[in-house]
Each structure stands twice: as C-alpha cells, then as structure tokens.
Structure 1
Amino acid sequence: MKYTNADICELIAELEGFNDKLPKEDFNVSEWYGFINSFQQTAYFKVCQGADKNGTGKYNFYKNKFKKNQIFIIIKDGENFCYREADFSDFDNTQSPKIAIDKNELNNFKHLNWDECVIEQINATNVVYNRICNRKEQVDKKAIQALLNREYKKCHYCGIDKGIIDELNNAAKNNKSLPWHHIDGLTKRITRMTLEVEQLNPNGGYVKGNIEWACSWCNNAKTDTFTEAEFKNIACGINIAWNERLKQIGSNSKVIFPWQNQVKCSK
C-alpha cells in the first residue's frame, strides 16, 4: 500500500503519546512533523528512508530551518522501521547541521511492530483530512476517523452504498441497451464514484455530530445551500432513480431510503 512519511510519523507519535497534530501552519517544518500530547507538550518526528548514497552509509537527519524542540528520528531499515528520541545537541556543527546514524547503532533503537491495518487506517484518515483541511471550515480529524471506522457505510441521504454504486457503474459501462449507458460508467468523473464526507449543516464544520457519508450525487446536489431536513425530499427522488435503474438491469439489490417515515414521496 502507499503511505507517506507523515503517516509513519503519526503512527510513532501515537505510540509515544503524542496523539494530535499541530495546526497546519506548524505541522510540517522541513519534513519534521509536529504532534502534541495531553500535557500540551510538542514533539517533532522525521523519517529517513535510506542510508546516504555518497559512501558514508549513514542515515542523515538535517536540521534545516527546524528550531529547538523535542525530536524523534525514524529510520527505514529494509522493510522495517526503528526509532528513538534524539536531542537537539545531537546535531553537529557543520554548515548543514545534521544527525548522522551508523547502521550498527540501530540495535539501540526501538523497533516498530508493523501493523498494516493501523497504518492503512492512518493513511485513509489523512487522505480525507488533507483533502478537506484546505477549506475554511473547522475540521476535526478524530471525527473523520470515527466516520471512516464505521463498519457499514452508505449515503446518509439516499441510502446507496459503495457496492450498489459499483454494480450500477459496471452495468452503465457494459450494457449498451441501457438509456444511461456510457463508456465511463455512471459519471465521467471517476474519483466521484464513491462516498464522500458531508456536512449536515453546511456551515457547521467537519466536526462530530455534523458529518456523515454522502454519495457524490447527493453531495453535489445539496451543495452548501440546503440543510439536512430540506434535502431529504430531494434525496428521495435520487433514491427512486437508483431503484429504477436496479430494476432495469434485473438486479435483486435495493437501495433502502433512510427517511421512509419522514418523506411523503418515498415509495
């Protein structure tokens, strides 16, 4: 799987009790990634993916513009990661101050017990979080993580899930007799053929109690104009359209409308 140095730093930061990222403007300092613990103490973490190729065989961590702080250095050794806390005094006094680690020093490092599921979860959360955090709304990463951890994900408005989206998309591409047949499937925008994080109150921020999963069709239709209550009637029409398409392809699947007892147009 693909993961970033920031993902690795976050995993180790959590192991060391630093569970929250610093604000965006302070988070990444020359690829030193900053986190904060429950005592409001800050630590920065950095990954070195390989030894110096200039003949020294050392793992180098450059200070660059990084200012004094608690620091952890992380080294990728083959397929494994190891780390230890370092001290600012470890930086040498050369023109480009660095901490240089010999391979034989790695025995004194903590070795990370790799958990693919955990790093996948961190990566998935960061992908969504990073996509959203450039916006002006308040963004709570823990709320996003809780949403991602839900066992069953479906559109909060029309009720469609990813499995049925895929079923209809395959039919749209492969069944030329359908009036909604298209070589690209349900939409030309492939990245939108999924579920997205949606604000119930468009002005309430991406925080606990105000985010849900929404299909991209409901999300695009709702925009930042309609409230949850207002959009339910529109979502009912989208639900009906999905189920009509499922009938057209002879599917036994059905999209259950979440608001059957609240919206009169529901079939």
Structure 2
Amino acid sequence: MKLELSIKDKYYQLCYTYRIHEYSKIDVYSNLKPGEAKLKYNSIDEFYMEELSISNEELIKVKSHFKEFNRLYAKYFNKSRGELFSNSEEFMKWYKEQGEKCKYCEVSQKDLLRIVDKRNGNLTLNQKTKRSKGTLEIEKLDPSKGYTYENSVLACPFCNNAKSNLISETDWKEFFVPAMKLYFKKILN
C-alpha cells in the first residue's frame, strides 16, 4: 500500500529536500531540457501549484505554515546540518527549546543585537563580517559527533568561538561563563 504525502509534506520535500528555488532545479526534477521550465512556468510558484495540485491561495497558506522554519533554514542550513533540518516540526521544537539564548552564558539573541548596535553595526571589533550580524550559532556539544538534536545547541559567537573544541562544556561554564556575563553587563550598560 502506497502512503500519500500530505501537501505540506510534499511542499517540504520539494522546497527543502530537493531545494527547488530556481528554474534549473525544476528542469532536473521534471526531467526537462535545460531552460524548458522557464518557458513552461511564469514563476516558481506556478510550478509548486501544478506539482501540488493546489491554488495560489492554498500555496500561500502552505508557505505561511513554513514561514518561521524558512527564516531559520535560510539562516542556519548547510549540508553538515542536514539532519537537523530533515523534519521541520522537530527542528522548530528543538529551536524553541533553546529559548533564543546561548546554552553556555545565556546571553539572548536580543542582547547580541544590542551589542551589534553599540559596535556600530558589527559584532566583531575588527569589522570582519563572519560574525558581524550577532546571530546565535548552532554549536556541536561533542565536536567529534554530527549535528543531531541531542548534540546541538545554540551558542553565542563569543562562547562558540572562544570555547571551540578546546574546553569542555563543564569547564567553560565553571571558569569562563562568569567572566562572559560580566563582560556582557559592561558592554550593555
């Protein structure tokens, strides 16, 4: 017996598993000649509506369901983190459990953005862009293991960069977190 995918499941598969966001991916997915999808569809959404057999209004509702997941996917997805993003509901549950704060020092996303503002739009002191946006990062608790829900936490760029894979979580919290909290208090006041 063949199990039918729900519209949301199929949309997830097309958008996040196959990552169909451009005409060339439609060509590959649909076994079309290169450039044929662009001639066939006026928009990528038109492809989705046809593939899912839904109206534009229904597509808007489906996309709305994935709005927050999509924002986080755009921010955090990379191939090594693929397992974390393999199920949108599980990912959102994990993310909400993180509380939008650093697992180690408990600085909030909001406070990181305040630091960016105080530093003239950049988190780093040398104006390099890697961590300039002040975004919490996905950190592996055990660097020798993969990105799984059990092995991943949100960490601020300060803790993630300084702790790295050199200091255990226990030692980091005991010796360095108190100093990090004082440092943030100084910056934010």
User: What is the TM-score normalised by the length of structure 2?
Assistant: 0.64
Match of 1:59, as an amino acid? Y
> Which of the numbers 108, 113, 123 marks the counterpart of 1:161?
108
Which residue of structure 2 lines up, in the alignment, with residue 15 of structure 1? 7
Which residue of structure 2 lines up, in the alignment, with residue 244 of structure 1? 186
Q: d(CA) in 1 for partners of 2:172 and 2:164? A: 10
Which residue of structure 1 lines up, in the alignment, with residue 177 of structure 2? 235
Which sections of structure 2, spanning at least 5 residues, go unmatched? none
> Which of the numbers 142, 147, 170 marks the counterpart of 1:201?
142
Q: d(CA) in 1 for partners of 2:112 and 2:8? A: 40
Q: d(CA) in 2 for partners of 1:203 and 1:120? A: 32
1:235 counterpart SS class: helix
Are 1:31 and 2:13 an aligned pair?
no
Which sections of structure 1, spanning at least 5 residues, go unmatched? 1-12, 35-43, 53-57, 61-73, 86-108, 174-183, 248-267
> How far does the alpha carbon of each residue in 1:210-266 deviate from its partner, in whole angstroms, 9 at most, with x for none?
21111111111121233321221222211111112233xxxxxxxxxxxxxxxxxxx
Q: Percent identity?
A: 21
Of Structure 1 and Structure 2, the greater strand share is in 1
Match of 2:41, as an amino acid? Y
Which residue of structure 2 lines up, in the alignment, with residue 59 of structure 1? 41
Match of 1:76, as an amino acid? D
Q: d(CA) in 1 for partners of 2:76 and 2:38? A: 31
Which residue of structure 2 lines up, in the alignment, with residue 82 of structure 1? 49
Of the two, which has the highest radius of gyration?
1
Distance 1:191 1:118, change over 3 A: farther
Distance 1:33 1:240, change over 3 A: farther
2:66 counterpart SS class: helix
Which residue of structure 2 lines up, in the alignment, with residue 220 of structure 1? 161
Q: d(CA) in 2 for partners of 1:148 and 1:160? A: 15
> How far does the alpha carbon of each residue in 1:89-116 deviate from its partner, in whole angstroms, 9 at most, with x for none?
xxxxxxxxxxxxxxxxxxxx42234135
CA contact (8 A) 1:129 1:144 kept: no
Distance 1:114 1:246, change over 3 A: same
Aligned pairs, number:
166
Which residue of structure 2 lines up, in the alignment, with residue 101 of structure 1? none
Distance 1:145 1:16, change over 3 A: closer
Match of 1:126, as an amino acid? Y
CA contact (8 A) 2:139 2:160 kept: yes
Q: d(CA) in 2 for partners of 1:83 and 1:113? A: 10
Distance 1:140 1:33, change over 3 A: farther
Q: What is the Cα deviation at residue 157 of structure 1?
A: 0.8
2:45 counterpart SS class: strand
Q: d(CA) in 2 for partners of 1:223 and 1:151? A: 19
Distance 1:45 1:114, change over 3 A: farther
Match of 1:121, as an amino acid? E
More contact order relative to length (CA 8 Å, sep ≥ 6): 2
CA RMSD of aligned residues (A): 4.1
